[in-house]
Structure 1
Amino acid sequence: MGAYVRDESDPSSARHRFPAEVISHAVWLYFRFPLSLRMVEEMLAARRIGVNHETVRQWALKFSQEFAAQIRRRLPAPEDKWHLDEVAISIAGRKHWLWRAVDQHGVVLDILVQSRRNTKAAKRLLRKLLKKQGITPRVMITDKLASYAAARNKVMPSVEHRQHKGLNNRAENSHQPTRRRERIMKRFKSAGQAQRFLSIHDQVANLFHRTANTTAAEHRTSRAQAFMTWAEVTGLVAGF
């Protein structure tokens, strides 16, 4: 599972039967890859770690939001070109809309699960983005949904807005991991669950994101740094 030892000064995993290394690895597997809780249980069992899938679920509920918050604080500031897109998802038999914003490198800026696909929903996304990112983009790229233009005029009228479906592949492609998770999880149970899970999932993906056109050596360096950051975030220290 990697050369990590527990940081005894970190209280987050205190009073747990398993060490922080096991908890960290289980949470990482669940949010990093399209795995069900039972799949994570089996992968841990292959390493002779007897953890029930319900325990993995409890670890994810308890620790993952703080992990994601720390990752967000450590990642570089977003680029100034934002791609926005929305995709339909089914929750408890009802159609909802997953609104997502990414920068030009595919790093997810934020997501918002809403029941509507209209100007009010688009305004909520833009306001949430401005609050979370703390900056205004230079360019906003969307598909031709009229709600984006109306929301942009109200929330950030000075931002250049380009509407063209062919320009927005970056945002559309960012939905693919969500579709894979949807299938594994047999759909989300509620809008709140989808919002919580995807907010964490996307931050973990951001940490291990591979920027296009990087060399193999650059990717190895970036991945090593990502694992170091994950170790710091989850209360582990690297042991070499």
Structure 2
Amino acid sequence: MGSEVSVSYKGYRFPAEVIGHAVWLYHRFPLSYREAEELLFERGITVTYETVRAWCATFGPAYAKQLRRRQPRPGDKWHLDEVFLKVNGRMRYLWRAVDQDGNVLDILVQDKRDAAAAKRFSRKLLKDLQHVPRVIVTDKLRSYGAAHRQVLPSVEHRTSKYLNNRAENSHQPTRQRERAMKGFRSRGTAQRFLAAFSTISSHFRPHHHLLTTSDHRAEMTEHFRIWKATTTAPATA
């Protein structure tokens, strides 16, 4: 299912295991780069927070891309939602889609939440996933209706404030990161970080409330195995 990491570690002083651990720390927990630096130092790894920042910017998107390739086919019910996002002091919109199992399908940071934005996000979903759902569930924002009629006319569309709790709840980790980072400097920065963060963070967030303790540990063991395979595989030429 997986493929090799598409970036090279050539020229980096630290091994892939250390770089992967730093990226995991920053994307899994609401840490600053300096806090990640401190945690690495406790493990005997002396790097600056600027180095951690560079590793996350370079390897975070590459790791996320490989994790997405390793993910199973998405479910057939998609939940779409959008929330406010502060970017350089101004409000933008984070569009997000998850399947019925809570797996993040895609995100897109946009300036508006009108019909054009809804259609743009719907087309991005279909292009990136190359898969058409059986049902989409949204809130009652009218923009979704316009996008549905033009982009997904054959798909059942359900609208309800309460049916879409799964998508709304999936924004909580993003809110934690937004507070820790005190907002984003640009829309491009927000898009690049959140695209990687949404994949990496959700990979380590199985639905604990649905699992027994032993099942959760087994699930996490498998997720860490996949992460190690993703971050330490031989780099492509």
Task: Normalising by structure 2, report the TM-score.
Answer: 0.92
1:122 is aligned to 2:147: no
Which of residues 195, 218, 223 in structure 2 aligns to 1:221? Answer: 218
Alignment of 1:135-214 (within 5 A): 135-211=131-207, 212-214=209-211
Q: 1:11 to 1:88 in 2, by over 3 A?
A: closer
Q: 1:112 aligns to what?
A: 108
Q: RMSD across aligned C-alpha pairs, in angstroms?
A: 1.5
> In structure 2, what is the Cα distance between the partners aligned to 1:150 and 1:67?
35
The answer (yes or no) to whether the contact 2:89–2:183 under 8 Å persists in 1 is no
In structure 1, what residue type is equivalent to 2:32? S
- 8 Å contact 2:98–2:167 — kept in the other structure? yes
Query: Alignment partner of 1:88: what SS?
Result: strand
* Contact residue 41 and residue 53 of structure 1 kept, 8 A: yes
Q: Is the 8 A contact 2:104 2:202 kept in 1?
A: yes
Equivalences for residues 27-66 of structure 1 within 5 A: 27-66=23-62
SS of aligned partner of 2:163: helix
Pick from 228, 232, 235 the counterpart of residue 232 of structure 2: 235
Letter in 1 for 2:93: W
Identity %: 55
8 Å CA contact retained: 1:21, 1:236: no
Residues 30 and 177, structure 2, Cα contact 8 Å, conserved in 1: yes
Match of 2:14 in 1: 18
Structure-1 separation of matches of 2:128 and 2:12? 33
Contact 2:140 2:160 (C-alpha < 8 Å) held by counterparts: yes
8 Å CA contact 2:7–2:59 kept in 1: the answer is: no
Give, in whole Å, the separation in 2 of the partners of 1:208 and 1:180.
15
Per-residue deviation, 1:12: 2.5
With normalisation by structure 1, the TM-score equals 0.91
**Aligned residue type for 1:229:** I
Mapped pair 1:103 → 2:92: no
Q: State the Cα distance separating 1:206 from its structure 2 match.
A: 3.0
Quote how far apart the aligned CAs of 1:73 are.
0.2
Equivalent residue, structure 2, for 1:89: 85
CA distance in 2: counterparts of 1:220 and 1:124, whole angstroms? 39
CA distance in 2, matches of 1:54, 1:73: 29
| Structure 1 unaligned spans of 5+ | 1-9
CA-CA distance at 1:207 after TM superposition: 1.9
Range 70-79 or range 86-95, more displaced? 86-95
SS at match of 1:198: helix
Distance, in Å, in 2 between the alignment partners of 1:198 and 1:11 is 19
